[in-house]
A and B are shown apart, each in its own frame.
Chain A
Amino acid sequence: MRAYVPGYDLRVPGNLKEALGLIAREPGVWQPFAGGTDLMVLLEAGKLSHKRFLSLSKLADLRGIEVTSDAVNLGALTTYTEIQRHPLLQSEFHLLCAAARETGSIATQNRGTLGGNIVNASPAADSPPALLVYDAEIELISTRDAHWLPYHGFHAGYKKMQLAPDELLRAIRLPRRTKAWKQYYRKVGTRKAQAISKVCFAGAALLEAGTIRDIRIALGSVAPIVLRAVKTEDVLRGVKLTSKTITAAKETLAREISPIDDIRSTARYRLRVAQNLLEEFLSQLVR
């Protein structure tokens, strides 16, 4: 049954201290609300258990893109549109720009946020594969403390995160170490625009004289969480690409992912496409 929207409460704190104080006093009661592109859909469909929402819209501490010599810090409320339009992200982090451009419609990109995409914890989210490839770190903040942790490992299982009920995701940090890496991103969905992915693939590799010195690979929609394919990376690190090593990597990937049949695709199709995307990525490395 559709929800009666006026029956829901939305609080709009004016600053971070007020917001953190509220979720510290009543942990789990207030559902943080960023761009609303996922939450409003679930809310209107009557699929949310929460009745109280905490709008983050006035929290300036969660906004802005800051560039330093060794990293880019993105506030959790950075929208997909802001990502696409940022010159440094375009030149050094184009996997993230590609993901932002392929997420929803332009209207969605104007509202949807990077932090929301992480905390919504969908295994089909488009930007997390790029974040994993860039070895992103995230900052969690509460009235107790603020601390950074690697994004890899943040999702512990389907919709499970290392996020306490009194914590907010404040920022995402991308180390500027992959500029020289060859990068590849491809989302496969039902249609070109505004489709949730059947498989999403992000990869980057550093080559030296034809040998893969380092490589990172991540996929969406093939496991309960967006997955960093570390075993496949291990098979590829330090090798020269040949048809034999590519086949070995594809076989490892097949064992590493656990795609399912669902409303958008089948396990069989996802497995085949994931392997094909890996092959396309690796083939482009030596071209």
Chain B
Amino acid sequence: MARLLDVLREELSLTGTKEGCGEGECGACAVLMNGAIVNSCLIPAIEADGADIRTIEGMAGGPQLHAVQEAFLECGGAQCGICTPGMVIAAVALIERHPHPGDAEIREGLAGNLCRCTGYQKIFAAVLRACESAGTNSRENR
């Protein structure tokens, strides 16, 4: 058995996806699997056979960052960076379902992603900024 996380990082050199806890608690290894957020540390790679997997590397459209990534930069939503790929993935998954999330929805949408640096406020602000400034951009970027 191989974990999806290890195949992404070690076989495919997609090292943007991070390993934090390795037990599905921290969300650092989050990817989109057929459009739904999952923790790749808990997925046997064989179960991803035939699935559409989007990692953090696939969020930007070439040099043009995804609206969520832009907002993280503008709002200071990243510090050490370990949680950031998972946070961005969770924010994208949230906005795809709720283009105009309220505060409670943002907190719920990111509840599975832990950050030890920012205290979360700037991350929440970045999600709001992404929706305000370019809610529709996030779709065009893909």
Residues of A whose CB lies within 8 Å of any CB of B are: 2, 5-6, 8-10, 12, 33, 36-37, 40-41, 44-45, 53, 55, 57, 81, 104-108, 110-111, 192-194
Contact = CB atoms under 8 A, between A and B. Distances in A.
Contacts of B43: 36, 40, 111
Q: What is the size category of the interface that chain B forms with chain A?
A: 20 to 34
Contact of B38 (A10, A57, A111): A111
Nearest to A11: B46
19 contacts: A9-B1, A12-B47, A33-B44, A36-B43, A40-B3, A40-B42, A44-B3, A44-B23, A44-B41, A57-B47, A104-B112, A106-B90, A106-B93, A106-B111, A107-B27, A107-B37, A110-B33, A111-B42, A193-B112
Contact of B112 (A8, A9, A36, A106): A106
A53 B1 CA distance: 9
Contact of A55 (B30, B33, B42, B46): B46
Nearest to A111: B38
A107 B30 contact: yes
A5 B3 contact: yes
Interface string B63-101: 000000000000000000000000000100100000000
B25 interface: yes
B68 to A, nearest CB: 16
Contact of A194 (B1, B25, B93): B25
A155 B75 CA distance: 50
Contact of B39 (A10, A33, A107): A107
Nearest to B93: A106
